[in-house]
Structure 1
Amino acid sequence: MIDPLLLGDLIDGGWKKLDFQPFHPGVTIHPLYGSGDGPAAAILRYEENARVPYHEHTGFEHVLILDGSQSDERGRYDKGSLTINPPGTSHDVWSDEGCVALLIWERPVRIIASGPL
């Protein structure tokens, strides 16, 4: 059984108590639930100047910034920002200052070998 997490606790820094493991260079992850091809959720922690490779969304992705800021080709998202990426969209994601984000995936993303120029 998964212990309940309160959103308010996460926003107030409760994510600092979680255990993180490597995900991508400069990015660590604390899985909340899910694996494989189905729904999943996790907390991602980006170091300063970290980046996640260009990827396509195969299902909806919800991203809530808990600390710092995250950017993509459409703009910058500060603490408290919620973005929803629909299926079929793609982008690069990076954080100049570092950030922590709650991500909820309907389906896994597909990493694309090379992004737009």
Structure 2
Amino acid sequence: MTTLTLIRGLPGSGKSTLAATIDAVQLEADMYFVNKHGEYLYQAEQIAQAHQWCQRETERELALGNDVVVANTFVQQWEMQSYRDLAIKYQAELKILVCKGEYQNVHGVNERVIEAMRKKWQD
């Protein structure tokens, strides 16, 4: 049985670090913004496309029978629904992990943005 692991948490909570320890294909919406030279070039107006890309890649990997770990903020429960649906579709075991660490925010997310996310957080 394949496994789909979702890792959720605020920016700088350790999601990517935890994901790297799991033996699975690692995906994040932020990967959409990495160019061919390995540079991270975030464009806020493309965030919806980034999440669609992440969902498509997750489905592609699950269809191939691969375990997948997705590390995104997933601040609200509805943001995980498409992944829950994919787990059902591909009969994958679904694991949801929450990161609450406070590390350096590698993507430069503004502290005001993080605080707004914290206020919207749904357990």
Same-fold status (TM-score > 0.5): no
The structure carrying a bigger helix percent of its residues is: 2
TM-score normalized by the length of structure 2 = 0.27
Instruction: Please identify the structure whose Cα radius of gyration is greater.
Output: 2
The structure carrying a bigger strand percent of its residues is: 1
TM-score normalized by the length of structure 1 = 0.28
